[in-house]
Each structure stands twice: as C-alpha cells, then as structure tokens.
Amino acid sequence: MSVGIVLVSHSAQLAAGVLEVAQQMAPGVRIVAAGGMEDGGIGTSFDTITAAVQQADDGDGDGVVLLYDLGSGYLTTETAVEFLEPELGERVTIVDTPFVEGAVSAALTASFGADRKAVVSAALEARTANGPGGVRSVDEM
C-alpha cells in the first residue's frame, strides 16, 4: 500500500519542475504533475486534475495527496475531487502547504511507506521547515 501525490499548478512547467525534484528525492513514489491548461496556457484544468488523481491512485486504499501552487488552484482541485467516484474521493486529501517544500516532504515521507495521514502531516510541517534564514514576520524588519 502506498500514497500517490498530485502536483496541481497553474503552469505545466512549474508542475514538471517540482515533479522532477520530488522524483529525484523519492523515486519510488507515484507522483503526477497536473499543471496548466490543455492548450498549454496558464491555469488549472478540472480534467487534468481528475486524470492525475486517477493515475496517482493505485486502488489499494491509501489514496492520494494533492498539493496546489496558488489559492485559486484550490478551487479547481476541490471541484475535481467532488466529482470523483465517491470511493476514490474519500481517499483524497488536499493540502495547503508551500508547493515545493510540501511536495518534497510528502514524497520523502511516502517513500518510506507512510500512510496518507503521515504524508499529509509531513507536507504541513513543510510550512515551518525552512530553518533559521529569512524573516518570518514584518515585526522582524
């Protein structure tokens, strides 16, 4: 049993780039890029996301974790999940996390055979995993 990951981005190139990084770090994980519109333009596609979820799911019950790049990507992602067959939709979790960091954390955790809850937890922890560098608040300026 394993968890699949879908990377939803407004840009096919961005999704492919994050996919490349995540696959290099976790080569055995099913990760699918769902970026851009069918015509190659910028945006998110209901059909592309739906197909990616179906491709990422291996049918064993562990399900799929979806990560998205920008807030409006959530809307398309949520709609796509709502239209999935109920058995699959129940095994899908959409995660609000930094796109690159969340994808890498989720992929690494999935590569160790973790369940969906642990993969989601790892993706969420990526929000604060940037180490000591950079400002975290305008109060620090």
Reply yes or no on whether 104 is catalytic.
no
Question: Of the listed 8, 10, 48, 77, which one is catalytic?
Answer: 10
Amino acid at site 51: A
CB 33 within 8 A of CB 24: no
Pairing of strands 31-35, 92-95: unpaired
Q: Return the percentage of the chain with pLDDT > 70, whole number.
A: 89
pLDDT for 134 = 61
Give the residue extent of every domain in the chain.
Answer: 4-12+24-127
Query: Quick one: tokens of 118?
Result: 């642990």
Cβ atoms < 10 Å from Cβ of 131:
6
Range 4-12+24-127 classified under CATH 3.40.50.510: yes
Q: Which residues of 22-51 are buried (b: 16+ CB within 10 A; e: fewer)?
A: bbeebeebbbbbbbbeeeeeebbbeebbbe
| Chain segment 112-129, per-residue pLDDT in tens | 999 999 999 999 998 876
pLDDT for 127 = 80
